[in-house]
Structure formats: C-alpha cells, structure tokens
Amino acid sequence: MARIEQRTIVDMISHGKRIDERSLTNYRDLKIEVGIIEKANGSAQVFLGKTKVMVGVKVETGDPFPDTPKEGILTVNAELVPLASPSFEPGPPDEKSIELARVVDRGLRESKAIDLEQLCIEAGKKVFIVFVDVYVLDYDGNLIDASAIASLAALLNARMSNYEIKDGEVIYKPGHKNLPMKNHPITVTIAKIGSSLVVDPCLEEEQVMSARLTAAIEDSGRVCAMQKGGMEGLTMEEVKAAVQIASKKANEIRERISEATK
Amino acid sequence: MNWEGENLFQEKRPERLIDPNGLRLDGRKLDQLRQIKLEVGILDKANGSAYVEQGRNRILVAVYGPREAHPKHIALPDRAVVRCRYHMAPFSTEERKSPAPSRREMELSKVIREALEPAILSGNYPRTSIDIFIEVLQSDGGTRCAAITGASLALADAGIPMKSLVSACAVGKVEGQIALDLSDLEDKYGEADMPVAFMPSFNTITLVQMDGSFTLEEFAKALDIAAEACGQIHEMQKTALKGKYLSIKEEVEEKGEVEEAGE
C-alpha cells in the first residue's frame, strides 16, 4: 500500500474518522443468508462489507476420540480459496487459514456451542461428527468475524435426520431435527491503528494496523476465546479496553444471527 | 502390568487439582511459578541459542541470522524477514506425536513469531532473514510461553538488536481459582488457560490467547497476574544473559593470571 494511503488512514482514524465513514466501533453492513446449499446439512453465507464467506456444515458418523467416548466431534476447517484474493494461492492450508479455522473452532468449542454429548450414538463406538467448513470467497478484511458469524448461522441452520439406534446401527426415520445447540459465541475483532482501537477492520485498515485482538463472547457475557495477531503489541490497557468493547458489540451481532436463523 | 498396547506412562485424571490447603498437584501455591532454569549459548553451530526448563518442560531454541534470505523472493527491501518454527519432538508428549507439523504447531509458530517481532529491530538488516527454531523436547503445559522466553534469550545471544526482551507466562483457572503457570494436567482439566507474552519495559503485550471461560473481571485480574509473573521471568532472563558474559569474563581473567605467573 502506498505510504500516503497508509498515512491518510492512520491520520483520519486519529481524528475518529474511517475511510468508509463508519464510527470506530461500528461493524460494516452485515447480511446473513442461510440454507443456500441444499446438499449440506446446514449452510450460511455472510456479507460483511465486501468480505464474503460461506460456511457449509456436514454431519456424518464415525469413531469417537478415545478420551471422550461419549461425545460427538466438532471439526472446523477453513479454505482461503485463490479466487477470494490476489494474495491467496492454491495449496494446502497455510498458517493464515489454520489460524482462522482454529480461532473459529475455539469460540465454538470452549463455549460448548454444540452439546456434543447429545451426538453420541453408541458410547466408545459411534458418534456424529460435525464438519464445519469455512470457505472464504472475497477477502476485504476481518475474516475471523465473518467466518465465525457464518459458522454459527450454518450450525443453527443445520438439520439432521431423525434417527433411532437398533443393535448399534443408526436407523433413519422421517423428519428432521436441529443440531443440539446450547450457546452462541460471537467473535469480535478489534484492530489497533495508531493509538485507536477500531472494530471490524476492512482490508485497508488491516494493512495499516499494528495489531489485532479477537475476543469470543458467549451468551452469559463470559470470554471463551482470545487471539492476538499482528506484528506489533498492545498495551495492558488497550487489551482490557478491547475486551470491554467486544463484550458490548457481541450482543448486536448475536441478535442479527438470531433473526437470520429464525 | 499389561505390556500390550497400554501406554505405560498414562496419567489418569486426578481427583483434585487443589488440595484443602490450597496447594496444587506439584505442591505449588496458586500464584507460584514452576522452577525455571535458563541457559544461553549452548549450541555450537547456531548464531544464538538457549535452553529452557520450566517445570517438566524442556525446550531448545536456536537462532540463525541475520543471514541471506532463501528463497530470494521472501526478502524484504527495508527489513529482515523473521521466521519461526515451533516443533515438538515425537517423544515429548505422553502419547507419541507424529513428527509431521500439526495444525497446532503451525498456529503456534505464527503466534510465537508475532510475539517476538515487535521486539526485534528488523529494520537494521534489510534483505536478510532471522530464523528462530524451537524444539520442544518435553512438554508439560505452557510450552509456547517457555519457548518465547527462550527465543528472546537466543535472539540476544545471536547479537540481534532488540527493543526489549520478551517474557512469557500462562495463567489460568483451576477449580474456580486463578492459577499461575498451569501444568499440562491443570490445563487439560482446568477451566481456562491464557498464555501471555510481555515486554515489561514497554507495558506491551505481544501475545495473548485464551481458551476456556473467564468473566470480564477474572480476565482482567488474570492478565495482571500474568504481567507480574512475566516481570519476574524478565529478571531471570537478564541474569541468564549476564551469566554468559560473567563466565567469559572469568575465563579471560584466569588466562590473564596464568600468563602473568608465567612471566
């Protein structure tokens, strides 16, 4: 990015103005669509400003982990597909996509968003595995929040067939039920630019930020995950302030997801 | 003992993590660090190196650089490229870990690099790379923090100019109480774990991650406790670095005495 552009963004933010005329603590326009991929158990597409992320949820059966024989499995993967940005190249997941998947996963896992014990088919032998696949389609900043919103919406949208267990086998019955969801974690990503904290950085803001802090807030207001990123640091006060901002913004986003998945 | 297919060193879930006297499994108090041993300059071929023992963690860090950036296209025109590899030895964990880099190791390599970059004056060495290699020889909780502590020492040992050392420590919640420097069992069976890396002289946090559950108040209190512990670790790092120069100084003085006696 040209230096003059960098300086302009930083300068404007020090005066409380952003290049897209938002306030420092506002999200970009958020649009959430669900149920767009019929072959998936659940799906959602999120437009956060110009960032576009699609998430598909597939539910399959498999072996439980040996140390949690009565729990279903959640697994999150993220693909930064090359069509989403001139900077994404084809290949196996790199550190950015791995970090993205693991941060989204942490928010869902630590808040126990899915009641994994209800996904047990036969203890120690068979459980349901919930695959959450994050597909970034257009990268214009703040993939973490867009992916987390889409993941939660897709999980709330997901349906699995009714079933009963006979002789250790799953027999599917007519009708569908939702995934057993018991929490709704929201990640809020805040970028440090100059000495200001801005919520939901767009791509240009990410390119000038010195660091970012993502906090996942669950229904009760507790923090269940955090991740600092970026090449610089944040002061103690900035970290505490960012978490406070995150806890206030989380409810707004949670309501939007709730509306979209009614 | 069953020799077939049973892990002989399986640690079972302990009944209690904190006893009625407020002491943890290893006898520590809630606000106590594990025993830490730091050594600098222990590898011959690396430009800088350090060895960290923290509780049962055993971590080796080597720094190569500033050196020519390979492949050439990663070189930056105005500063050094900092690369970091966090890797665990297959025998470092209870269950053998495959030597292939896991997703966790890739994420940790990134966050550790981002914890150290703020301290490195990379602008001094354009078009070079500074490579940090971390090998966890034995892992018992809090390895990314011990690794950052060691990496700061290795960078200093390599003579790479830094704004500050980076000191790191994890804090968490065990049986409802905030505890410092969690061991592996405490992390597994506790309610929260928050690794923190800190540059004490700049009051700046360069790494903070968290998993589990904290109220906003618990989080703020835990962060303060972590920062204070990082301050203690900072003092140990300075002592370890001075120790390297003190032993060189002693060697030089001894040699001087021998030469004088020989005259």
Q: What is the pLDDT of residue B5?
A: 44
Give domain limits for chain A.
Answer: 28-260
> Where do the H-state alpha helices sit in A183-229?
203-208
Which chain B residues touch A102 with a CB distance below 8 Å? 103-104, 107
Looking at chain A from residue 66 to 125, which residues have their Cβ under 8 Å from any Cβ of chain B? 93-96, 98-99, 101-102, 106, 109-111
Looking at chain B from residue 220 to 259, which residues have their Cβ under 8 Å from any Cβ of chain A? 220, 223-224, 227
Cβ of A223 and B210 within 8 Å?
yes
Among A223, A230, A234, the residue with its CB nearest the CB of B216 is A223
Cβ of A233 and B211 within 8 Å?
no
Cβ of A228 and B209 within 8 Å?
yes
Q: What is the pLDDT of residue B7?
A: 46
Chain A interface disruption, residue of B103, B199, B207, most A CBs within 10 A: B103
Per-residue pLDDT of A24-66, as tens digits, reads: 999 999 999 999 999 999 999 999 999 999 999 999 999 999 9
Q: What is the pLDDT of residue B2?
A: 39
Share above pLDDT 70 across residues of chain A, in percent, rounded to a whole number:
100
- Reduce the DSSP state of residue A37 to 3 states and report it: coil
Cα B16 to Cα A93: distance, rounded to the nearest angstrom:
40
Cβ of B203 and A236 within 8 Å?
yes
Among B107, B215, B227, the residue with its CB nearest the CB of A99 is B107
Cβ of B117 and A227 within 8 Å?
no
Which chain B residues touch A234 with a CB distance below 8 Å? 204-205, 208
Chain A closest-CA separation from residue B16 CA (Å):
19
> Where do the H-state alpha helices sit in A47-125?
95-110
Of the candidates B79, B170, B88, B157, the one whose C-alpha atom is nearest the C-alpha of residue B118 is B79
A184, A152 Cβ separation under 8 angstroms: yes
Cβ of B227 and A229 within 8 Å?
no
The domain in which residue B252 lies consists of: 36-256
Residue B227: closest C-alpha in chain A: A236
Residue A240: closest C-alpha in chain B: B220
Could you write out the three-class secondary structure of B134-193?
EEEEECCCCHHHHHHHHHHHHHHHCCCCECCCCEEEEEEEECCEEEECCCHHHHHHCCEE
Structure tokens belonging to residue B65: 């650089």
Q: Output the CA angle B235-B237-B240, nearest 5 degrees.
A: 110
**Mind listing the pLDDT tens digit of every residue in chain B (263 residues)?**
434 444 445 566 788 888 888 899 999 999 999 999 999 999 999 999 999 999 999 999 999 999 999 899 999 999 999 999 999 999 999 999 999 999 999 999 999 999 999 999 999 999 999 999 999 999 999 999 999 999 999 999 999 999 999 999 999 999 999 999 999 999 999 999 999 999 999 999 999 999 999 999 999 999 999 999 999 999 999 999 998 878 788 888 888 877 777 65
What residues form DSSP beta bridges with A31? A47
Among B111, B205, B220, the residue with its CB nearest the CB of A234 is B205
Q: What is the pLDDT of residue B6?
A: 45
Note whether B205 contacts A: Cβ–Cβ < 8 A: yes
Structure tokens belonging to residue A141: 């900043």
The answer, yes or no, to whether the previous bond of B77 is cis (omega within 30 of 0) is no
Among A224, A228, A233, the residue with its CB nearest the CB of B212 is A224
Chain A, chain B: beta-carbon pairs less than 8 Å apart: 96
CATH of the domain at B92: 3.30.230.70
Which chain A residues touch B117 with a CB distance below 8 Å? 231-232
Cα A219 to Cα B39: distance, rounded to the nearest angstrom:
46
Residue A155 CB neighbour total at 10 angstroms: 24
Note whether B109 contacts A: Cβ–Cβ < 8 A: yes
- Reduce the DSSP state of residue B89 to 3 states and report it: coil
- Reduce the DSSP state of residue B249 to 3 states and report it: helix
Angle between helices B103-116 and A95-110 (to 10 degrees): 100
> What is the CATH code of the structural domain delimited by A28-260?
3.30.230.70
Among B111, B204, B211, the residue with its CB nearest the CB of A234 is B204
Residue B211: closest C-alpha in chain A: A225
With respect to residue B203, please indicate whether it lies within any of the assigned structural domains.
yes
Reported ipTM: the value is: 0.93
A41, A160 Cβ separation under 8 angstroms: yes
Note whether A2 contacts B: Cβ–Cβ < 8 A: no
> Which residues are CB-contacts of B263 (< 8 A; sequence separation ≥ 6)?
none
With respect to residue B27, please indicate whether it lies within any of the assigned structural domains.
no
Q: What is the pLDDT of residue A226?
A: 98
Chain B closest-CA separation from residue A154 CA (Å):
23
Q: What is the pLDDT of residue B258?
A: 74
Cα B57 to Cα B102: distance, rounded to the nearest angstrom:
19
The 8 Å CB, 24+ separation contacts for B28-36 are B28/B181, B30/B174, B30/B177, B30/B178, B30/B179, B30/B180, B31/B179, B31/B180, B31/B225, B32/B180, B32/B181, B33/B169, B33/B180, B33/B181, B33/B229, B33/B232, B33/B233, B34/B181, B34/B183, B36/B233, B36/B236
Per-residue pLDDT of A173-200, as tens digits, reads: 999 999 999 999 999 999 999 999 999 9
Domain tally, chain B = 1
